[in-house]
Structure 1
Amino acid sequence: MRRMTTTFYLLLISELCSLKTAFSNFHFISQKKTHEEAKDYCQRIHTDLATINNVTAMNNLIASVPNNTVRSWIGLELGNVSRWHWAWSTQNLDFLNWRVGEPKGLGRDSCAAIDPQGEWFESECDTQRSFVCHGNSDVPNDYIFVANAKSWRDAQKHCRDLALDLVSVGSAEENKEVRNLTTDPNVWIGLFRDAWRWSDGSQSSFRYWKPQQPNYGNQNCVAAVFKDDGKWNDLNCGSQRTFICQGPSKVSPNTSTTATTPSNNTTNTSAVVPFMSTAASSTPKINSGDVSDTTQFSNITTTGSGFPLTSGNLTLIRENRTWIESLNYCRERHMDLVYVAGQSTQDRVAHMAQHATSSHIWLGLRYTCNFDLWFWSASSADCYQNWSPGQGPGERSYECGITAAMVATGGHTWVGLPETQRLNFICQEDCAR
């Protein structure tokens, strides 16, 4: 059984620099298609419609879409058979402790609770109960009992707000520990039953439903609703919406592909990968050289009326935009906002920043309130840092909506600024060091 305290979880992410937890490779497609057409497109051009495994992946998916997007198809669809899952998608159903006559098969969706004898029973998920949270690590006895009665989903949200989840039980010993921790007679555990499945066949049990969803009817496919923080809604599969693919491109981003729409047999030609958020699966080289070798900066060229300026795989955009607008611009025309993973890239970016028309330039570095963590939009947490004094991890408290910018002059150090400020920015063609 895996347990993790919140503190341990945050330290693990922020302190282990060798850990490269790659974010999922998501691609926003602005065409509108039915769910089946979207799935066909993604399977031909990428891998499949998006599968989401956890809150981190969901946050990354949200960051991969333009900020005016209303809702987009993901890869969750209704199957024919309901199955039991643990809230932690990596926890197998190796141990079950149903009391006699359980589970009863109450409906398409149901949840599990533990009784005073430590036996489990099936229950309507809307029933109000106390619950137990836990972390996903090997730290023993890391349980949090919450006496406030909530529905199963509200209980799960409470746990997730603590960077935990509802408790999974993998042995008789753990079952006893959970039962002995609680003071209420019947308590939620993290076991639930539904018939939803991912189009790529993966077994992720992660769910991120809006309140009162899913409501079924003739609504067998799922979209993320971005005006509601990306929460999910079940919808009619035949409605046409934008969608999100996952996996590497099977064709070049600059290559057009012909997609046939089954409903009207028309041909639709469009550029692939208009929006993308990815951790590099390969590492194409950029000029590293010795940091004192200024020849690597000598190839800066300008276009048109003086912007943009390019140097190798970097492009300085001398237009003032918010951080999100800058991110979307780079993902439409290049790959991502610049990712500074080492001194060589820092030096190249600093040299280009001297040509900016704003006092700072945006970097692809963003603060997440969920985990109190800075992360690169194009990769994972990284060791290299060049923060100004009093800025950066551990130096101060940041509010939500803070992103990183480089000072355009002087020491070219980094500071945290509100993402609504409007600055120049640098786009990058790849995520290499």
Structure 2
Amino acid sequence: MGENANVKRQYHFINENKTWTEAQRYCREKYTDLATIDNMNDMNELNKSVNNKGFQYVWIGLQKTGRDKWQWSSGEPALYLNWGDKPPDGRDDCAMMLNGQWHDLPCSNNRHFICDNTNTGLVLVNQMMHWTDAQSYCRQNHIDLVSVRNQNENQQVEKFISDRQLSGSYVWIGLFRVSVSWQWSDQSNSSFRYWNTGEPNNVGGENCAAVSQNTRGQWLDDPCNKHYPFVCHEDKLILIKENLMWSEALRYCRQNLVDLVSVHSEEIQHEVINVVKRASTAAVWLGLRHFSILGIWFWVSGETVCYQNWAPGNGTSEEDCEHTVRSGAVQSGGDQHWISRPETDKLNFICSRY
């Protein structure tokens, strides 16, 4: 490995011709996933793994999602959706309400609309506008087009419309469809792209990305059912977004990967910081245990704790006096320091393949 010792993922070139979906399945069984690429450094590593073996095209883990993403004008994700009898078919990009149900219609339709205002609440605007003009109007004069985040708000807006004698009319709400985007197979939010000039050109359903060897490894979009060799990646650290007690987390890692992570160098702490940002709990279990009889902390991998990254007031011998068994976790926000927590807390955790 040498210079690669601190690369946070390894690439594995697989010389078997498969469709994109078959390649994805193979990588998920044998490694972490089809290759994700974060930066030019990763791209060079990936190219090294393919290493001009004479293949023209090689699959990577980038795919155009058929899923349409609806979101609120305010920027909030649309978690609650209340489509009428016809769910969106992917042709129209803006949403209206009719008798409490939502319908997608072309954004160029002229309709009444509802703005949100901090002081007065809902505001019905008695002018007919395109959705985008309605959005601008609300943003200039109020806050934004209305968001309808749950059933309760949906009923309020429906009642608001009928109180103003507009039942039976379509009224714009702040919901719109974000144009179809490319997504990494492992759900990474890496925005790095290395398309060749003129790509992705989307000629007839080209929904998967491949590396082209004849353009210095730049990418093109291709139909997903073509058969190409492919590159998998293997993450060294994996965040598990399940909330388990420390001993359950240890068992999970040992059964499914190698172990709960031991952070015995600054390099590994950097990798932990990369991984931990996506956690859903404020702290995340490490393989760090307090041995109260001896009054010491140790890593489950057997190393003593030489490199340290404790938050102030944590990791001291005062823990000896408590009767709760303590284990070590890393903060998922802020400075990502280590903290001592009762081992019965239920937290996300990080498994390691080292």
| Common fold: TM-score over 0.5 | no
- Could you tell me the TM-score, scaled by structure 1's length? 0.29
Say which structure is richer in helix: 2
Indicate the structure (1 or 2) with the bigger Cα radius of gyration.
2
